[in-house]
Structure 1
Amino acid sequence: MGASGAVTRSTLRQQIADALRDEVLAGRLQPGREFTVKQIAEQYGVSATPVREALFDLSAQGLLESDQHRGFRVREFTVADYRSMVQARTLVIDGVIRSAVPGPGIPVGRSATYENSLVSVRRRAQEAARAAQGGDLDILIGYDLRFWRELGALFDNAYINDFLHRLRVQAWVFAVPYLRHDVSARDWLWHGHPELVAAITLGDHDAVRAVMHDYNAHALSWADRLAAGNPPPPGRAPRTTAPPFAAPGAPFTTSEPGAHGPSS
């Protein structure tokens, strides 16, 4: 395959992965939903190769499970899984704060690039908080993931940032089915993003830790509520291989950007 063909296939692979990830985050592909490479390829009007690669990419990210005989299935996370995600990110972020955020009274030296990036992160924070306060789950997921991704980039460790992004995507995949069916969901949408940016801007180590403590305690409190059955677990997706999204044969072309909603 020539270079142009390789780029085209790679682009399709990413577009399909992005589109399916968005379907999972939006709750349209529910936990337990099964499908095959052939069905996805027919759905989007593309060949099987980029679809198979996209599905294996999502499996590597922990969002799908592969079965030799049944195809692929959207992974079902438990409350215990979610609690472990929160605990893992807490340990990692605590280390990042200690190493990257100066303590009280320590001067903050930053480059112009850092300051410009911080302006963008601040805008993301405001948009995420506004969506959370308004109970707009779809908009919140997109801005929340972008916020944390851009914020993590400020600390210049791509490995940690990628790990935390993966955890947050998985956490949203777990949370979405519950939040879609919980009348009090708005009360459980954290909106402290601007306070965190303000603390980082000041270089206030203690303030950053306080906001992050609130963030993680909020998530663990919600996990305790779910473990107690309030609200009860959402209904499991039926074991069917019929894809519940898009119109049959909807084409996927490299001339248009892929679906980059929540997961960009």
Structure 2
Amino acid sequence: MPGTGSNGAVTRSTLRQQIADALRDEVLAGRLQPGQEFTVKEIAEQYGVSATPVREALVDLSAQGLLEADQHRGFHVHEYSAADYRGMIEARSLVTDGMFQSLVAGCMQQLNASRAAVALAAVRRRGEEAQRAATAGDLNILIGYDLRFWRELSGLFGNPYLADFLHRLRVQSWVCTVQHLRRVDDLKGYLWSGHTELVDALARRDPEAAQAIVAAYNEHSLSLIERLDADSGPPGV
């Protein structure tokens, strides 16, 4: 594991976060399957570390809703349903709708025009990378850029608690969706790619347009997940 300090030792808190990040990526990549069970000892041996930071990392991921603890047995990857995804979308919408209004009415006005343009341009570049991955149907690349896109966009709001909350929701959403999207052989044409369109709406200070873009995105993704959940997904499943 990387991340040694100046004295050559990795602090327990750093190791704990590294293990949590690595396991989250394993779940998002589909290498840890829904319902798959594992123990603290197995993960500790896999990464060549002691049990304590592993146990702490697994507890952290359980608190985030990615794993579930099995009493006296270990942990397993949480299995999400389409109903879970609907709840996540509702929660995300409550956050983003308010965020868009505030960004346009408050935060953007507090920045001068040049600073606002620079801030949005940086987010837009991240969105362009996400769009390219979505268009190519590259789910792994898309997830990374999409999470960074929303993290940076919500960061403009200036409230780290809101940004962290939305980030957790989006991680949970991706964990849920990958459990369904991995069934699709070719994802070209199925993945949302409206990132730059969303940024452009905010740059125009048009929160209603931004909300409409995200609402269409949510409707599209929920419909897809519900079809896959019912085992009657799109062609190629």
Common fold by TM > 0.5: yes
Counterpart residue type for residue 73 of structure 2: R
Q: How far apart in 2 are the matches of 1:13 and 1:30?
A: 22
Shift of the 183–45 alpha-carbon distance from structure 1 to 2, 3 Å rule, reads closer
Could you say which residue in structure 1 is the equivalent of 2:4?
none
Match of 1:187 in 2: 189
Contiguous gaps of at least 5 residues in structure 1: 233-264
Identity in percent: 64
Instruction: Work out whether residues 114 and 154 of structure 1, in 8 Å CA contact, stay in contact via their aligned partners in 2.
Output: no
C-alpha displacement at 1:223, in angstroms?
3.3
Deviation at 1:108, TM superposition (A): 4.2
Residue in structure 2 matched with residue 239 of structure 1 by the alignment: none
| d(CA) in 2 for partners of 1:158, 1:113 | 20
Secondary structure of the corresponding residue to residue 101 of structure 1: helix
Of 199, 203, 206, which residue of structure 1 is paired with 2:205? 203
> What is the one-letter code of the residue matched to 1:90?
S
1:97 Cα deviation from its structure 2 partner = 2.2
> Aligned-pair distance for 1:91?
1.8
The aligned counterpart of 1:26 is 29
1:95 aligns with 2:113: no
Match of 1:151 in 2: 153
Mark the CA change 1:163 to 1:221 in structure 2 (over 3 Å): closer, same or farther: same
Over 3 Å counting, the alpha-carbon distance change for 1:6 and 1:60 in structure 2 is farther
Q: Which residue, 53, 56, 79 being the options, matches 2:56?
A: 53
Q: Secondary structure at the match of 2:157?
A: coil
Gaps spanning 5+ residues in structure 2: where? 1-6
Cα deviation for residue 31 of structure 1 reads: 0.7
Q: Give the alignment's TM-score, normalised by structure 2.
A: 0.87
Counterpart AA for 1:77? Y
Shift of 1:6: 9.4
Q: How does 1:38-49 map to 2 (within 5 A)?
A: 38-49=41-52
For residue 148 of structure 1, give the secondary structure of its aligned residue in structure 2.
Answer: helix
- Following superposition, the deviation at residue 146 of structure 1 comes to 0.5
**Distance between the aligned counterparts of 2:32 and 2:212, measured in 1?**
36
Distance 1:189 1:64 in 2: 25
Aligned pairs, number: 227
- The structure whose residues are more often helix, as a share, is 2
Match of 1:138 among 137, 140, 150: 140
- Higher relative contact order (Cα pairs below 8 Å, separated by 6+ residues): 1
Q: How far is 1:5 from its partner? A: 9.8
- Residue number in structure 2 paired with 1:257: none
* Root-mean-square deviation (Å): 2.3
Q: How many angstroms apart in 2 are the aligned matches of 1:15 and 1:185?
A: 30
Shift of residue 114 of structure 1? 4.5
Q: Using structure 1 for the length normalisation, give the TM-score.
A: 0.79
1: distance between equivalents of 2:110 and 2:51? 51
3-state SS of 1:185 partner = coil
- 1:120 Cα deviation from its structure 2 partner: 1.8
Alignment partner of 2:40 out of 16, 33, 37: 37
Aligned twin of 1:110: 111
- Alpha-carbon separation, structure 1, partners of 2:12 and 2:136: 39
